[in-house]
Amino acid sequence: MSPTRDLFGAKILVVDDKEANVMLLDGMLRTAGYTNVSTTRNPRDVCALQRRDRYSLILLDLHMPGMSGFEVLDELTSLDADDYAPVLVITAQPVHKLRALQEGARDFISSPFELDEMLLRVRNMLEVRLLHEAARDHGKAQESLAVTDALTGLANRRLLEDRLVMAVAHARREQGSMATIYLDLDGFKEINDTLGHASGDTLLKMVADRLTATVREEDTVARLGGDEFVIVLRVSGAADAERVAGKVIDAVAKPYVIGAHAASVTVSAGIGLYPSHGEDAETLLKSADRALYEAKRSGKNNYRVAVQ
């Protein structure tokens, strides 16, 4: 979507207790090309409407019976304490302009207002709002990229390390158990060699989906790179971890369809249990890795539990 379409499609709320003013502002905005304009004559509804619809701009009259524009401003700034409260106030009293800005308004219009000035201030505020939203969304995207695998969307090594440390700490505090399952695909190189790397990437994403579907939402599934994955989960003991490993092996072994091609791949798994095979994250992961090596060495498409 182009910036201009974003601008004229932005959500705008007009707040004024006088019906004539509401109709005037609504008509001016729609004539100028804004297509998503809402109105209310009840200032007590504003915060609920903003919470529900997240307006990019609120045109707010300061002088309304029952609840003043300043009271509405106070509620809006509390609602958006960590965000950008997009309020453009309308006032016929110049003495109130500074107070409105101090209390969270982003700009003001003097009443009676000039049409061209009003539309320019609306456009300027919307442009700033859209820039603010783009910067916020970009920051969230960058933050997500820092802790997720770009191909599969799973946790990456950095996030895995954090989650593993937290899981160990929780198990220690609760005097319970948790498991790390280290996974490596069997025969993945052949998929890349015969169908190409694009198909290999598709297969990795399909495997990631199957792994995620096999475990609980609170468990962590991570991709370390290549065809290596790790699952971190709370368990009641070795039998619980072995049950999950078996489910994972069965799920991964089911056939895949990639484009016009049928493909198959299996997975080997190594299980490390806290506290039996390590009392810290690093030792636990190494124990699971050694168990994975034993699973590979014993014929693949199976699992092994680390030895003490």
Q: Does the pLDDT at position 80 exceed 70?
A: no
- Cis? peptide before 112, omega within 30° of 0: yes
β-partners of residue 40 are: 15
pLDDT in tens, 22-54: 999 999 999 999 999 999 999 899 889 988 898
Which one of 3.40.50.920, 3.40.50.2300, 3.40.50.1580, 2.40.110.20 gives the CATH number of domain 3-142?
3.40.50.2300
263 vs 76 pLDDT, higher one: 263
| Banded model confidence at residue 174, pLDDT cuts 50, 70, 90 | confident
Taking residue 262's Cβ as centre, other Cβ atoms within 10 Å add up to 9
**pLDDT of 113-159, one tens digit each?**
788 888 888 888 888 877 777 766 666 665 655 778 889 999 998 88
Higher pLDDT, 78 or 125: 125
Q: Mean pLDDT across the chain, nearest whole number?
A: 87
pLDDT, residue 1, reads: 41
pLDDT at 108: 80
Whether residue 288 contacts residue 272, with contact meaning beta carbons closer than 8 Å, is answered with yes
Model pLDDT for residues 219-232, shown as the tens digit of each residue: 999 999 899 999 99
**pLDDT exceeds cutoff 60 at 2:** no
Q: Is 227 a catalytic residue?
A: yes
- Annotated catalytic residue: which of 83, 227, 250, 280? 227
Give 245-251 contacts, CB < 8 A, sequence gap 24+. 245/181, 245/269, 245/271, 245/303, 246/303, 247/214, 248/181, 248/183, 248/211, 248/214, 248/215, 249/301, 249/302, 249/303, 251/210, 251/211, 251/213, 251/214
Contacts 24+ apart (CB under 8 A), 153-157: 153/208, 154/208, 154/211, 154/212, 154/221, 154/222, 154/223, 154/229, 155/220, 155/221, 155/222, 155/223, 156/222, 156/223, 156/224, 157/222, 157/224, 157/225
pLDDT surpassing 80 at residue 79 = no
- Beta strand extents in the chain (DSSP E only): 12-15, 37-40, 57-61, 87-91, 107-110, 177-186, 220-225, 228-235, 256-258, 261-263, 266-274, 303-305
Give the per-residue pLDDT at 19: 92
> Any idea where the domains of the chain sit in the sequence?
3-142, 157-305
Give pLDDT tens digits for 81-117: 555 668 888 887 766 777 777 777 778 887 777 888 8
CATH number 3.30.70.270 is the correct assignment for the domain at 157-305: yes
